Amino acid sequence: MAEAWTENEIADLVSRVSALKASMGQVIIGQKDVIDLLVTCLLAGGHALVEGVPGLGKTLLVKSLAQATDMQFRRVQFTPDLMPSDIVGTEILEEDQVTRQRVFRFQQGPVFTQVLLADEINRAPPKTQSALLEAMQERSVTFAGQTHRLPKPFFVLATQNPIEQAGTYPLPEAQLDRFLLRIDVGYPTEEEEIAMVGATTHAGLADAEPALTLEALLRLQQLVRDIEISEFMLRYATRLVRATRPAESPVEAIRKHIGWGAGPRAGQALVLAAKARALMQGRLAVTREDIAAMLLPVLAHRVLRNFEAEADGIAIADILASLRNEVRID
């Protein structure tokens, strides 16, 4: 590891992750896999694209994460009339009461926070969507030639409704690639739904209790970077990403159904997510299972199906399952 970590420090940090998930679990009924992926994304220092039909608690999920980590939280409802300045901020003209001199001052927008919920991000036009690009990639905002740094950590969670496309603007591939993971929120089980309805129509749900300090979170993000990955596992992750490109893929399903494969940033995301998963399970080295488990959430939004696959209704999950099953490394 790049930094000398003591066993006690590592054990303490891992226990804090368990406490974080438990705190969120007190608010979010069910959705254990979704919580795991959200925490994985946070520890890896990436951003998440959360998809699911209305009413599944996507906004509550994000809010509970901010509460459990005691981070500053802001929500922006994306609409067709939303302007870039509504997100990043703008300059306002101020007059000094003494000298009567007028100067421009930058008024920060809601992006200057630690957890930003971009609700229904695909309802805003491309110009507004692209306003988040620099913030997500560089953790900064440039306005009128001045660069303004964003707080640390900075975590964007964007939600999309996958079934309602009227009046929406699909995110361009360049912006999709900025999201470390795509997290699909499915329907709860019958017992979970009964518990959810009962809790929300009786006393209501309490806020998530703070379980992870900012200092501990930043240490965890550093520890994730220091998790070991062997040359063998690094080659395996890279080979999986390269195999998504139809022209050079050994996987028939990829050659037949994929129009455009993932770029090198997908390999970085896959390794980081696998490292975060390993740490969450109390391991200090990445295994093949970590990489395989992160394959779908890392690649689902980075691999584009061709027209034939979309017309035939072939799911991206099935295509990536073939990739996972057929790509081997000796």
For the stretch 259-298, pLDDT in tens is: 999 999 999 999 999 999 999 998 999 999 999 999 999 9
Candidates 143, 142, 137, 119; CA nearest to 176 is 137
Per the structure, how many domains does the chain have? 2
Which of residues 208, 226, 244 is at a domain's end?
Answer: 226
- In a domain? residue 91: no
137-159 average pLDDT score: 88
Both tokens of 26, joined, read 């007190």
Q: What is the DSSP string of 143-209?
A: ETTEEEEPPSS-EEEEEE-SS--TT--PPPHHHHTT-SEEEE--PPPHHHHHHHHHHHTTT-PPPPP
Helix, strand, coil: what percent of the chain each, to 5?
A: 50, 15, 35
Task: Examine the domain organization and report whether 278 and 215 are in the same domain.
Answer: no
Predicted confidence at residue 224, as pLDDT, reads 95
Residue pLDDT, tens place only, 211-260: 899 999 999 999 999 999 999 999 999 999 999 999 989 999 999 999 99
Task: Examine the domain organization and report whether 248 and 327 are in the same domain.
Answer: yes
- In a domain? residue 311: yes
- In a domain? residue 99: no
| pTM score, whole prediction | 0.89
Q: The tokens 């696959």 sit on which residue? A: 309
Task: Examine the domain organization and report whether 34 and 117 are in the same domain.
Answer: yes
CATH number at residue 296: 1.10.8.80
CATH number at residue 193: 3.40.50.300
| Cα 287 from Cα 271, distance rounded (Å) | 10
User: Could you tell me the pLDDT band of residue 62, with boundaries at 50, 70 and 90?
Assistant: confident
Which of residues 226, 257, 287 is at a domain's end?
Answer: 226
Task: Examine the domain organization and report whether 269 and 248 are in the same domain.
Answer: yes
Both tokens of 164, joined, read 């309602």
- Residue 65 belongs to domain spanning: 1-80+113-226
Both tokens of 183, joined, read 């997290």
- In a domain? residue 279: yes
Predicted confidence at residue 157, as pLDDT, reads 92
Residue pLDDT, tens place only, 4-31: 788 888 899 999 999 999 998 888 888 8
